[in-house]
Amino acid sequence: MNFSIGQLSLKTGVKVPTIRFYEQIGLVAAPPRTEGNQRRYGQPEVDRLNFIRNARELGFEVDDIRELLDMAAEPQASCHQADSIAMNHLREVDQRIARLQALREELARMIKECGHGHICDCRIISVLAHPMRDGS
């Protein structure tokens, strides 16, 4: 099968500029071109872009995706490094969740402490103007 870049985009859900970017950074090999200089893609590129899109949706960084793609090319190799990459990413996600929970708690506290009166007495405006640095 031969796909244009637009058809590839439709098949994978990856936008055309993103496909071109992935080619520029080497995540996707530059495809052969027609005599009219049109890129032509096949099923391997569809599979590769689906892999990349799924990894990006899970929040993996480009360098990790590059490593995972390299590992996928060697199906009989140990998956220890893939496990390590996923575990590191999970730790980062857990840290982001903890930061978001702290942010949520602070916002909820600010709203709760707001007297719903005038701006001059507004706890939300006060906290934003003069944040407490010691966490209290």
Render pLDDT for 83-118 as a digit per residue (tens, 0 to 9).
999 999 999 999 999 999 999 998 888 888 777 777
b/e 84-123 (16+ beta carbons within 10 angstroms → b): ebeeebeeeeeeeeeeeeeeeeeeeebeeeeeeeeeeebb
Q: What is the pLDDT of residues 42-80, one digit of tens each?
A: 999 999 999 999 999 999 999 999 999 999 989 898 999
Cα separation, 11 vs 122, whole angstroms:
52
Q: pLDDT tier at 136 (50, 70, 90 boundaries)?
A: very low
Q: pLDDT tier at 133 (50, 70, 90 boundaries)?
A: low
Which residue is it, tokens 């027609």? 34
pLDDT of amino acid 82: 94
Check residues 117 and 2 and name the one with the higher pLDDT.
2
pLDDT of amino acid 61: 95
SS3 string of 46-100? HHHHHHHHHHHHCCCCHHHHHHHHHHHCCCCCCCHHHHHHHHHHHHHHHHHHHHH
Mean pLDDT of 124-130: 79
pTM check: above 0.85: no
Which CATH number among 3.30.160.270, 3.40.50.2300, 3.40.50.300, 1.10.1660.10 corresponds to the domain 1-61?
1.10.1660.10
Domains of the chain, by residue range, sit at 1-61, 78-136
Q: Is the pLDDT of residue 119 over 80?
A: no
Cα separation, 136 vs 127, whole angstroms:
11
**Contact 5/41 with Cβ under 8 angstroms?**
yes
Q: What is the pLDDT of residues 9-45, one digit of tens each?
A: 999 999 999 999 999 999 999 888 888 888 899 999 9
Which residue is it, tokens 């709203």? 111
